[in-house]
Structure 1
Amino acid sequence: MKNIFFLFLLTSTLSCAQDKLPILGETEHQKEMNAKFKDAVKSPLTDKDRKTFRSLDFFKFDSTYVVTASFKRTPNETSFKMKTTTDRLVDYVKYGEITFTLNEKELKLNIYQNIEMVKQLGEEEALFLPFMDNTNGVESYKGGRYVEVGLPKDNQMVVDFNKAYNPYCAYNKKYSCPIVPSENVLYTRIEAGVKKYDKH
């Protein structure tokens, strides 16, 4: 009986220790992402994958990929149905364009606004910046990545590619994710942000 109790106590202690492992990450943003992925309520991972999850794989933080871009508003755009990884179509409108220099190349990306999301409290200033680059399918997720940006204050916008993240469908097939428009393919390497997800 004592042996059984000791074994139970040991198992409980190990379980608690597992739950209290330090959150990994080189930056505060990385730690926040890892904490979210470990959270049963917020995580896009399947329950099975979440139980063994320790950390996402990130490119090393590089200030080169924090760019100040010139922003151009494109008013009077017509909304369109953005394709997703399922049959679902989402209403977006092109909000504007940004141009910036990176890896000695002049680059341009379109920025979009989700028609429904902008109606939600707290999401009025949310903009959507999806992109693909030459790391896709090698170091990063084959379907491209996203960066969250807010409404620009003037004709400039700071974009931190170190915060680029994968669509949730990269982790769990139950999600439906917007497909990166062909206009937002960058023919250069963006060695920043989250890498592709490999189950351990």
Structure 2
Amino acid sequence: MNELTLLDWKRRIFELYAEIRRDDDAEHAWRNWRTVRDELFRTHPQSPIPSERRASFAGLPFFDYDPSTRVVGNVEPAERMQREIATSGEQPYSFTRFARTRFELAGEQHALDLYWLDGYGGGLYLCFADATGGAETYGAGRYLLDTVKGADLGERSGQLVLDFNFSYNPSCSYDPQWVCPLAPSGNRLGIPIRAGERFPNRGETRSARRVRAGRARAGTR
């Protein structure tokens, strides 16, 4: 039953991130995260990898772990603003920008908007794009936090843990049947972040090209 397999997928992801938050060794947590996700992508009925490609699936491609890309971000209130954020499908999703997180990375100060999902009971959403997008990483953005789906790296003394080694591609990068919100315009960093997940193994997938074409037509909201 599709609903029960989806429930099992979500349960496993929530449990995985709970393990990450408990692990004091960030690189060990990252390696475990990769191992579990590879197994889920290879074998689970809810894998975003199309079923006909799972037998040949060799694992998700990643940059090497880089401890310098694990930072904490101060959370600063921002003017609340409801936005319709573009997705890989035809319809946008409604989010509320409620804060910004500021952090230092590569010797520079940066900031990213924090969004709250207006539907599904709500959840913190942080998707970003950087200077590797379109060449080394998925051009429409990578996810770092998506708490409604379990992706939650926790806090340290009131600051958000932002470990870019845990950045991952949205499901729509593997199969266009999935509809994913994309990186909003305020969350585009001018530096390359060579940490986290790279392009899917086939290079820029048909789905990625489709998303880029759609963004060119509709613009980034």
Shorter-normalised TM-score: what interval?
0.7 to 0.9
Equivalent residue number for residue 196 of structure 2: 193
Conservation of the 8 A alpha-carbon contact between 2:103 and 2:109: yes
Counterpart check, 1:42 vs 2:37: no
Conservation of the 8 A alpha-carbon contact between 1:79 and 1:92: yes
Match of 2:60 among 40, 45, 56: 56
Q: CA deviation at 1:40?
A: 3.1
Conservation of the 8 A alpha-carbon contact between 2:30 and 2:165: no
Conservation of the 8 A alpha-carbon contact between 2:153 and 2:161: no
Conservation of the 8 A alpha-carbon contact between 1:143 and 1:179: yes
CA change 1:99–1:26 in 2 (3 A) is closer
Give the number of the structure whose residues are more often helix, by fraction. Answer: 2
Counterpart check, 1:93 vs 2:90: no
Equivalent residue number for residue 36 of structure 2: 32
Distance of 1:90 and 1:184 partners within structure 2:
16
CA change 1:150–1:34 in 2 (3 A) is closer
Counterpart check, 1:147 vs 2:144: yes
Conservation of the 8 A alpha-carbon contact between 1:127 and 1:150: no
Kindly provide the CA deviation profile for residues 136-183 of structure 1, in whole angstroms up to 9, marking residues without a partner as x.
112111111011246757642111111100011110011111121111
CA change 1:159–1:167 in 2 (3 A) is same
Q: CA deviation at 1:63?
A: 1.1
SS of the aligned residue for 2:81 comes to coil
Distance of 1:49 and 1:26 partners within structure 2:
25
**Greater shift after overlay, 162-171 or 36-45?**
36-45
Distance of 1:94 and 1:26 partners within structure 2:
28
Distance of 2:67 and 2:127 partners within structure 1:
20
Distance of 2:98 and 2:43 partners within structure 1:
33
SS of the aligned residue for 2:161 comes to strand
Task: Spell out structure 1 runs of 4+ moving beyond 4 A.
Answer: 150-155
CA change 1:57–1:136 in 2 (3 A) is same
**What TM-score, normalized to structure 1?**
0.77
Conservation of the 8 A alpha-carbon contact between 1:58 and 1:195: yes
Equivalent residue number for residue 159 of structure 2: 156
**What TM-score, normalized to structure 2?**
0.70
Counterpart check, 1:173 vs 2:170: no
Distance of 2:99 and 2:135 partners within structure 1:
30
Kindly provide the CA deviation profile for residues 121-147 of structure 1, in whole angstroms up to 9, marking residues without a partner as x.
xxx6x3111100011112111111011
Letter in 2 for 1:95: F
SS of the aligned residue for 1:179 comes to coil
Q: What RMSD over aligned residues (CA atoms) do the two structures have, in Å?
A: 2.2
Distance of 1:187 and 1:61 partners within structure 2:
21
Q: Which runs of 5+ in 2 are unaligned?
A: 1-28, 146-151, 204-221
Q: Which runs of 5+ in 1 are unaligned?
A: 1-24
Quote the sequence identity (%). Answer: 27
Conservation of the 8 A alpha-carbon contact between 2:153 and 2:162: no
Letter in 2 for 1:82: I
